[in-house]
Each structure stands twice: as C-alpha cells, then as structure tokens.
Amino acid sequence: MTSAATNLRSVPLARRFLNFTWLTLGLAAAILVFEAFAQPSIVVTTLVTGGMWALMAAGLAMVFGVMNIPNFAHGELFLLGSFTAFTVYSPIREALLNDPSLTWLKILGPFPGMVVALVVGAIAGVLLEAVLFRPLRRRSREQWVMNTFLLTAGVSVVVINSYRLTIGNDFHGVPAYWDVPPISLFGVPISVDRAMVLVIALVTITLFALFLQRTGLGRAIRAVSQDETGAQMAGIDLNRIFILTMGISCALAALAGASLLFLFPAYPDVGLQPLYTAWFVVILAGLGNIPGAVIGAFIVALLQNLTIFYIQVGWVDVLPTVFIILILLFKPSGLFGSAVKGVWEQ
Amino acid sequence: MLVRHRRRIALLGVLVVALVLPYIPPFTGEDYRRWLVGAAFMAAQAVAFDFTAGYINIVNFGFAAFVGLGAYTSGILAVDFGISPWIGMVAGGTVSGFVGLLTGALTLRLRGIYAAVMAWFVGLALMGLIRNVPDITRGSLGLAVPSLLESSENLPYYYVIMAMLIVTFAVLAWVIRSRYGLAFRAIGQNLAAARASGINPTRYLVINFVLSCAFAGWIGGFYAHYYGILTPDVMLTSHTVEVLAIAYIGGRGSLWGAAVIAFPLSIGVEFLKVQFSTLPGVHLVLYGLLLIVVMIYKPGGFAAVVRGLESWLIRSRPGDTATEAPPAS
C-alpha cells in the first residue's frame, strides 16, 4: 500500500479534486437541494433521523477509534435508553393527564427521562468496560477486534433476551412527548417532538465535539485513538480513558433511545435497526472516524428516506446496503477513511 | 502422532454413540428424536461456521442468511419447478456459494471486521429481499415446501442430517489438512507474515469463505425440506449468533469441538425450552452467557478442555511420555 504522501504526488491534479468522496458528498448535497424544492418533507425527515443516527454512530465510531471495539451491543444501549425514559416519563405523563393545567410540566416533562437515560447509559458503559473488556484485555490482546466483536454479540443476545424474559414483548412507548400542534419548518409541518429531536441531537453533537476538541480529557481521548503507546508515555491513564470513552458512547446511544421513544417504543428488538444503521454509517464513513460518522449519518438518513418515499418501506434495508457495497468497491476504507492504516490494523 | 490417533478413535466412538443414540431411551421418542435432528443440524452448521471463523479468523455474521438462501433456493426449485429436493439442496449450496463468492471477493480484501460486518449487511439485505418479493417467496406468510422423504418420522431424517454432518466434517477437515489448511492458518494468525511468505491471502480467504457458504446453503436445503415451512426469520441474526456461540464454545479452529459440543448443548437447550416454555428466549441468554464466559476465560472452548485432559492423562502415566508429541492444535 502506498503512503499518503506518495499518493498526493502521483495522483493527477484533476483527480485529486474529482475524487470519489467529494463526488458522493456533492451528489448527496445535490439531491438534498433538489428534494428541498420537490419534496421538502424528505429533507426535514432526513435532518431529524440523521441527527439521531449521528448520535448513535458517533459513539460507535469513538469506541472503535479509541478502544478498537466494534460494539455489536450498541443497539441494546438504545433499548436501555428508551425503556428508562419510558419508566421515568410514565408517572409524569400520568400526572399530566390528571391535571392538564400544569404548563411547566408539559414543557419540561420529557427531559428528566432523557437525563436519567443518559446517566443509566453511562453507567452501563462503565460496567461493560469494567466487567467484560478489562478482564479480556488483561488476559490477551490477541485478535482483539474480532474477540470483542463476539463478546459484544454475546452481550447483545443476553440483554435482548433478558429484557424479553423480565419485561416482555410488549411495546412501551408514548404517542408523543409534546402533545401540541405541529410547527412549520421550511413550509413542512413537523411535530414538535421531531423538531426537539433535531435540537437535542445538534446540541449534543456540538457539546460532544467541543468536549473532544477543547478539553484536556477530550484531547486525551483523541490521543489514545491515534497512538495508544504514545499517549501512555505522555502520562495518560489508559484505563481512565477507556472507562470514559465507553461511558460517553453508551450515554449517547441511550440518549438517542430516550429521545426517539415516540417513534421507537421500547421492546426487545428495538435496538436492531438503530444498531445496523449506525454500523452502515461507520462503515460508510470509515471505521473510527467521528466527524465522518456525523456526516455519514445524514447521508444514510437521506438514502433511507429516499428509499421509503420513492420505492417502499420494505426496501429500506436492501438499497442502502447495495449502495454501501458500491462505495466500498471504489473506496475500501470508507468515504473519509485514509489509506494510512489505523493502530488496530497493524 | 499417538495423540492424534487416539483422538481420532475417540471421535469415531462419539460418532458411533451419536448414530445409535436414537435407539437409546429416552431418545426413542419422536420428540427426542426431533431434538436429535435439530442438534445434528446445529452441529453441521457450526462445523461450516468454524471452518471460516476458526481458521481464517473471519466471522461470517451473515451465516444464517446463507443458510436461509440455500433453504429458499431449494424450496423454490421444489415448489415452482418440481425439482427433487436432493438436487435442490445441492443447488441451494451452489447459490449460497456463489453469493458467498461475490460477498467474499468484495469484502475479504478488507480487514476482518469489514468482512464480518459486510457479510452481516449482505445477510440483512437478503432477508429484506426475501421479505419483499412475496410473489416468489410468499414473504412472511411462509413458503410451504415439500418434504425430503416420504416418511414423516424423524429417524430417517436424523440419518440424512448425520450423513450431511459427516460429509461436511470430512470434506472440511480434509481441506484443513491439505496445503490450503496450512495457508488458512497462516493467514488467520498473521496476515502480513503469510503475505510475506508468498501466499496470496485474498485468494485463500475467498476459497475458504465460499466453501463455508456453500455448505451452509446445502445444510439450509435440509432445513427447508425437513421443517416444510420457510419464513424470512430463518435468516435472523440471532440464528447466526446461536451457531457462532456453539462454534466458539466448542473451540475455535478445531471443527470437531463444535461438532461434538453441539449435541449436548442443543439438546440441553431444547430441554430448557420445554421446562421454561413460559420464558421465551431463555436458551439465548444461556448461549450468550456461555459465549461471553468462553471468550474471556476459556478462549479455546471445549476443544481446549479436551486437550488439557489429554495432556493431564499423559502426564499421569509417565511410561507414555517418550512417545507423545506435544499436543497438536
């Protein structure tokens, strides 16, 4: 494999600017602009679902980038988040139904559930690291990526079926968080719930990006993802970073589950679709690439919504897959992946 | 040499036990014999799965979809074209192998985790495809498939699937012992070193993947004509995880470990299902927990336990030590 430097010199100027990544991004942007006029509702739903997939995918990408764990149990954190939010929100909803005049509760009511879900998700992440990954890391780091993949597959099966055994197969959801008439965005009526989802996603992603870029801990996390040994030599406590990374990643997934409760009621398999969508995104963007995952999330959301609108909802798993396979054919390391090998590949 | 020889005899002994098992109470009952068929079906799948996961270290996460693809191919050939299930099963294996070839050629150039996840995507896409063409597959309603044998008893089916298990095991073990097996191991353990010693990894990886998928499809054909009804659910990822759990609990990279452990595990699970019929999914919790424990504490699985016992036996008989080679993997 040639290094990035020689690549730059040997690639003709025209191809450098007309490369595949920019073509894809340009195409996505063009479709968005076109749809904005032809079918604005697609743009709006793309923004809303894309925001949530971004929360899922950013966490997945971070855990892979920092800890080299391909987390197959990421969807179960989504489930955990949605069930936690349901549990916390139910009594609030009850109170609201009894006394509809509590305006402040009407506005703020859904937030406690989301905050608790965030905390529960973080705790679950810390537990996963402490109970599973750390013992495995201590025993052997051989074939780490594949072993942790299987480990998390086991976790996923255990969580889904334990949930089924204890709580059952029923749907636990809410029809709407904010029971008010829809507002209008770009001339498209959109429920307040969906608008809030977009706001929550954007705020969280911004905070997350600021944390990674501006704080010492965030820098430490990025350092570990680039060079574990080097980071260790610089005095970074790896165990602390691993716990933090896992906690944040799981908290983000749980938050996604909590804020989408009105769309995805809690039931055992609810995490499956968010899980594989998040995986679509990180494979498309390039494993371990967090900013790429955020952009990729919106591309995947666009693809899914185009499929649903123009073809049929049933094809929503088929067509994006074909598309991703095509992309990987041309750009095996993902849209934003570089030809330089990551730590986990060596 | 002697260890290997002894192990082969032990394996033959296990095989004989498995073959006479349906005549030993309580397995003489139809229900128990059905469990045996299920166990042999799982064993055959686990062997085909381990061929990829245990040797080239690529986890085919879409395994159940390849099984299901073979099942649907064979089923549709029998329903729409009246083709004999025996030929249909082979056709199912061919189709699965072909899709495996496409998937493998595309993804096996990339690192293992890409291949695993892409195989999973291909599996999801196949399941979506099957659901979305109800004109051919009857979608979620289920495709009624003619059965393989005239008899509705489980016993003949058991011997058919046992024969398929033996063929699968024999062929794959033969490949493993050949020059190819050596290359597979080399690639699975250290890709860069294998490449440096003149092996073209992609070619071997694809050969391995295609073989595994082809056997998956063939075994899937049996599933179709045994159960007689096919729904897209046969391709669910949870089925892949079941097979994966058995393969890893049995011991990765041993083939026989998976084949042997599948019987007690699968029968035990059926027993659990009957005992806790009000608790659906309890068997999957068990599989998942076992998988987690094996992954962390006993990565060699059941096969490593057997090997440990072997060397313990050898050590406790000092006269033997001179003739024994160190335990081969």
Q: What separation in angstroms does the CA of B51 have from each of A55, A87, B39, B160? A: 37, 45, 18, 21
**Interface contact B285-A158, CB threshold 8 A:** yes
pLDDT of chain B, 329 residues: tens digit per residue? 566 677 778 788 888 777 777 777 777 777 788 888 888 899 999 999 998 888 888 888 889 999 999 999 988 888 888 888 888 888 888 999 999 998 888 888 777 778 888 888 888 888 888 887 777 778 777 777 777 777 777 778 888 888 888 899 889 888 888 888 888 888 877 777 777 777 788 888 888 899 999 999 999 988 888 888 888 888 888 888 889 889 988 888 888 888 888 888 888 888 888 877 777 778 888 888 988 888 888 888 888 888 888 788 877 765 554 444 444 44
Q: How confident is the model at residue A341 (pLDDT cuts 50, 70, 90)?
A: very low
Nearest Cα of chain A lies from the Cα of B26 at a distance, in angstroms, of: 29
b/e map A111-144, b = 16+ CB within 10 Å: bebbebbbebbbebbbebbeebbeebbeeeeebb
pLDDT at B263: 87
Does residue A7 or residue B34 have the better pLDDT?
B34
User: Domain boundaries in chain A?
Assistant: 20-339
Range of lowest pLDDT (A81-90, A106-115, A302-311, A323-332): A323-332
Establish if B56 touches chain A: CB-CB under 8 angstroms. Answer: no
Tokens of B63: 């395994």
User: Domain boundaries in chain B?
Assistant: 2-323
Q: How confident is the model at residue A104 (pLDDT cuts 50, 70, 90)?
A: confident
CATH number of A20-339: 1.10.3470
SS3 label, residue A287: coil
How far apart are alpha carbons A191 and A209 in whole angstroms?
A: 27
pLDDT at A66: 85
The predicted-structure confidence for A252-265, as pLDDT tens digits, reads as follows 999 999 988 888 88
Query: What predicted TM-score, i.e. pTM, was given to this entire model?
Result: 0.84
Nearest Cα of chain B lies from the Cα of A244 at a distance, in angstroms, of: 22
- Residue B303: name the closest of B259, B243, B266 by CA: B259
How far apart are alpha carbons A3 and A6 in whole angstroms?
A: 6
Closest partner CB to B284 (pick from A155, A161, A333): A161
How far apart are alpha carbons B75 and A142 in whole angstroms?
A: 42
How far apart are alpha carbons A20 and A24 in whole angstroms?
A: 6
pLDDT at A12: 54
Q: How confident is the model at residue A339 (pLDDT cuts 50, 70, 90)?
A: very low
Note the maximum CA span of chain B: 69
Establish if B327 touches chain A: CB-CB under 8 angstroms. Answer: no
Amino acid identity at B212: S
User: Torsions phi, psi of A185, nearest 5?
Assistant: -125, 120
The CATH architecture to which B2-323 belongs is Orthogonal Bundle (1.10)
Nearest Cα of chain A lies from the Cα of B125 at a distance, in angstroms, of: 4
**Interface contact A164-B131, CB threshold 8 A:** no
Q: Is the peptide bond before A12 cis (omega within 30 degrees of 0)?
A: no
Q: What residue of B is the nearest CA neighbor of A331?
A: B110
Stated as kind and residue range, the H or E segment containing A185 is: strand A183-185
Model ipTM value: 0.82
Range of lowest pLDDT (A213-222, A290-299, B27-36, B264-273): B27-36
Establish if B63 touches chain A: CB-CB under 8 angstroms. Answer: no
- Chain A residues lying within 8 Å of B61, measured CB to CB: 153
Closest partner CB to A345 (pick from B111, B245, B291): B111
pLDDT at A117: 92
Span A112-130, average pLDDT:
92
